[in-house]
Structure 1
Amino acid sequence: MLSRRVDAPTRHTAARLDWVDAAKGLSILLVVAHHAVWFLQRSGQAPAAVVTANEALASLRMPLFFLASGLLAAGPLSAPWRVVLHKRVAFFLYLYVIWTVIRFTFFATVVPPEVDPDESADPLGLVLALVLPGPSMWFLYALAVFAVVTKLARPLPVWLQLGVTGALSALVGAGMVDFGDTRWTYMSRFLFFFLLGCYARELAERLAAATSLLRVAAGGVACVAAAGAAVALGLRTVPGVALALQCLAVGSGLLLAAWVARYRFGRPLVVLGTLTLPIYLIHMMWLAAIMIGVRHVELPPAAAYALPVVLVPVLTALSLLTHRALVAVGATWLFALPPRLAHRAS
């Protein structure tokens, strides 16, 4: 039966828990959906209601992704600097550089400019990639930067780290602080959630353990009601409101992930959470290739609403199949540090 429950994880001190992977799986699906809507909007094929729903999910999508990443990074970041630099900094920067070049080459040679919503084939963007992270690979860049910041800040009290980054997120979210670059602005907002994942694991575990269908539904209703009220009353520019909405969304997302992870129908989402890297790296090239053929199609209203939903599993499957094929032919260097750069335990 689909609703048959499986035993809840008992590895409370383990590095990975099923609900954390389910949260990552949910996040990557939301990221794929966001990019699908983004490309469809570029071609004028995304209905206004779909664009609005995609924008509303911004409070959940990346904050939950960074929180889950922080939950998994807390242990590795407590290691000596040499290990951190190999496993968290060099690893993510290596992937960032490799895939930024791959993405630039693909979009410059295959994808027409009118399909690309973020000027991925801009040579200046490639030259400045180590200073101004690219619009699609910036998550990897952020994880490397966050590892360094978190390691440097470890001697400081946790309340101070969360207080400062929370205040920064609140000010940036209200538009009162602007770094002049969208990706650095995003990173300044989401560092708080990464640190929250590193330091508030026990709180997250208690929240996950308390999940139920009723609480998941209540959390979803609360998110919609709060977001609607903020928009109706014009409160989004008030410092702290956007951050509060993100915290509420992340809490509801954790409840949902933990509830889904308890049942057999949630196992695919849990497994997907362990495979987010290849999906993140590959899916936008498949999306661009599909949009080359779809952009001139006159979509009936029903198809315009259904297409983003259909694209999510299609792009996810194509990305995972591409990853498997690349690994099978020996291109593991596309997804892992070369042995000479990887950390070797003494």
Structure 2
Amino acid sequence: MSNHDSTSAHLERKVNKRVEWLDLARGATIILVVFLHSSHTASVIGPINETVRWLNTNLLLDLRMPLFFFCSGVLGYWGLRKPWRTVAVSRFRVLIWIIFAWTLISFGLERLIDLYPQYDGLHHWSRLFWDPISNLWFVYAILIISLIIRLVSSFRRRHQVSIVAGINIGLMILVQFGPTVIANSFVQQLPDYALLSFFTGYLFAPNVVSSLERLRNAFVSFGIGVTCWFAVNLIDTLIATTNVNLIRFIYSIPMIFMALGLARLICEWTWGANKLSWLGKRTLEVFLFHQIFIAVGFAMLVELGITSGTLALFFISGFALCGSILAERITKYLGLSILFQPPAIQGWARKFSLQLKSHEAR
């Protein structure tokens, strides 16, 4: 076995055991996602403080989802390089099931509660599955990106880069000049930051994991991230008058470096960092549950007559986050894994067959 293979195998075992600072970054990101979605609903209740609104929609815009996709790419590196059958069973089947189950759940809940107070109207049945119900676009994106990455994973690295870059450019052209229905769909997020962020995390996963294990590199990563972030924003300010917009992926690169370096440093020194890491292991469950609790929190505040958007934002986001964590714990305790994992049809069929044979033997 070569040194590269040995190092890769060691890192794979480490990732399978979970890298605490990577989970911490994911945990922090899901909190920011919940906060953003809560702000959309809170703005219906009343105006949100300008500083809070700016931090939420401007400063953190280039960090939230790009970092989420980047971390997903790092964690998906070893899994997506496995045989097609393994990837299909362990990843594609699970994502397709989540899309199917939670589309039906969301479609039903829309008719029972005001699930998305910031939007008018309900999701029509004719748009089911091909048009994601709001937040589910993320699961669609992960499925499509995972399929693309698996298709190119057997090529040399430079060919992978060329193919993914070509796909991203093609998607940008499609969004810009294609039908309006595509430009207004989740597809616009793919070339903007999702595909490139995930692919970059996938491409450099071994380097990222091994490098940031060294504390010195975490300091360097954080410092470079802060410096580059200021530089990128300065460049954008200078070219703003030319109507040339840098895609969000370019903005997100220094933010990702900064966030991962900071996450590594926090894991080294901060008491209680394991709580955020714990949350990072459950980002999918929190992501799926949080909109339900946002809607419930909104209904509670309307009933109480609250008119402050800022107060509503902090209450709804806290309520949604805590409610989602509690829901994840309850569903696990009750054994409701079917919400996140497809039913084991083969296991049921085998068990039924054995019971039938036992009954016939009698």
Considering the TM-score relative to the shorter chain, is it more than 0.5?
yes
Q: Is residue 287 of structure 2 the alignment partner of residue 280 of structure 1?
A: yes
Q: Is residue 206 of structure 2 the alignment partner of residue 199 of structure 1?
A: no
**Structure-2 residue corresponding to 1:294:** 301
**Structure-1 residue corresponding to 2:340:** 335
| Distance in 1 (alpha carbons) for counterparts of 2:267 and 2:198 | 22
The amino acid that maps onto 1:24 is R
| Distance in 2 (alpha carbons) for counterparts of 1:325 and 1:23 | 25
Contact 2:113/2:295 (8 A) holds in 1: no
Q: Shift in Å at residue 191 of structure 1?
A: 0.9
Q: Is residue 235 of structure 2 the alignment partner of residue 234 of structure 1?
A: no
Contact 1:30/1:61 (8 A) holds in 2: yes
Q: Is residue 148 of structure 2 the alignment partner of residue 181 of structure 1?
A: no
The amino acid that maps onto 2:158 is W
Q: Shift in Å at residue 117 of structure 1?
A: 2.3
State the secondary structure of the residue aligned to 1:159: helix
| Distance in 2 (alpha carbons) for counterparts of 1:131 and 1:341 | 28
Distance 1:310 1:292, change over 3 A: closer
The amino acid that maps onto 1:96 is I
Deviates further, 210-219 or 143-152: 210-219
Distance 1:101 1:252, change over 3 A: same
State the secondary structure of the residue aligned to 1:88: helix
| Distance in 2 (alpha carbons) for counterparts of 1:285 and 1:261 | 31
**Structure-2 residue corresponding to 1:153:** 152
Q: Shift in Å at residue 51 of structure 1?
A: 2.8
For structure 1, list consecutive stretches of 5 or more residues without a partner in the other structure.
Answer: 1-10
Q: CA RMSD in A?
A: 3.0
The amino acid that maps onto 2:283 is T
Contact 1:208/1:254 (8 A) holds in 2: no
Contact 2:73/2:201 (8 A) holds in 1: yes
The amino acid that maps onto 1:270 is S
| Distance in 2 (alpha carbons) for counterparts of 1:45 and 1:163 | 46
Q: TM-score normalized by structure 1? A: 0.81
Distance 1:31 1:271, change over 3 A: same
**Structure-1 residue corresponding to 2:57:** 55
- Cα distance per residue 1:168-201 (max 9 Å; x no partner): 658849x856642331111233111111121201
**Structure-1 residue corresponding to 2:43:** 41
For structure 2, list consecutive stretches of 5 or more residues without a partner in the other structure.
Answer: 1-9, 348-362
**Structure-2 residue corresponding to 1:255:** 261
Contact 1:25/1:269 (8 A) holds in 2: yes
The amino acid that maps onto 1:116 is P
**Structure-2 residue corresponding to 1:136:** 135
Q: Shift in Å at residue 162 of structure 1?
A: 3.1
Deviates further, 248-257 or 219-228: 219-228
Q: TM-score normalized by structure 2? A: 0.78
Who wins on radius of gyration, i.e. which is larger?
Answer: 2
Match for 2:317 among 304, 312, 315? 312
* Larger proportion of helix: 2
Contact 2:222/2:257 (8 A) holds in 1: no
Contact 1:116/1:288 (8 A) holds in 2: yes
State the secondary structure of the residue aligned to 1:109: coil
Q: Shift in Å at residue 24 of structure 1?
A: 1.0
- Cα distance per residue 1:71-122 (max 9 Å; x no partner): 111111122111111111110111122112111211221117xx52245732
The amino acid that maps onto 2:130 is V
Q: Shift in Å at residue 149 of structure 1?
A: 1.1
- Cα distance per residue 1:22-61 (max 9 Å; x no partner): 1211111111011011111233332333333222212111
| Distance in 2 (alpha carbons) for counterparts of 1:92 and 1:69 | 13
Q: Structure 1 residue runs of 4+, over 6 Å off? A: none
Deviates further, 188-197 or 216-225: 216-225
Identity, % of aligned pairs?
21
Contact 1:21/1:272 (8 A) holds in 2: yes
The amino acid that maps onto 1:63 is P
State the secondary structure of the residue aligned to 2:128: coil
**Structure-1 residue corresponding to 2:122:** 121
